[in-house]
Amino acid sequence: MDKLQQLLEKIKAFRDERDWIQFHNHKDMAAAISIEASELLEHFLWKDRDELNSLSEETMGEIKDEIGDIMIFYIELCDNLGIDPIDAATRKLEKNKLKYPVDKAKGRHTKYTKLQ
pLDDT at 76: 98
Backbone φ and ψ of 52, nearest 5° = -70, -30
- In terms of Cβ atoms closer than 10 Å to its own Cβ (0-12, 13-18, 19+), residue 81 is exposed
Overall average pLDDT of the 7-11 stretch: 97
State the Cα–Cα distance between residues 78 and 100, nearest whole angstrom: 26
55 domain residue, yes or no: yes
Close Cβ partners of 30 (under 8 Å, ≥ 6 residues apart): 77
Query: Residue 100: inside a domain, yes or no?
Result: no
In a domain, 16, yes or no: yes
Residue-range definition of the domain harbouring residue 35: 3-83
Where does the pLDDT of residue 116 fall: very low under 50, low under 70, confident under 90, or very high at 90 and above?
A: confident
Instruction: Classify residue 91: in a domain, yes or no.
Output: no
Task: Give the CATH number, domain containing residue 49.
Answer: 1.10.287.1080
Percent of the chain's residues with pLDDT above 70: 100
Please indicate, yes or no, if residue 41 is contained in any of the structural domains: yes
In a domain, 18, yes or no: yes
Per-residue pLDDT at 24: 97
Task: Kindly report the pTM of this predicted structure.
Answer: 0.89
How many domains are there within the chain? Answer: 1
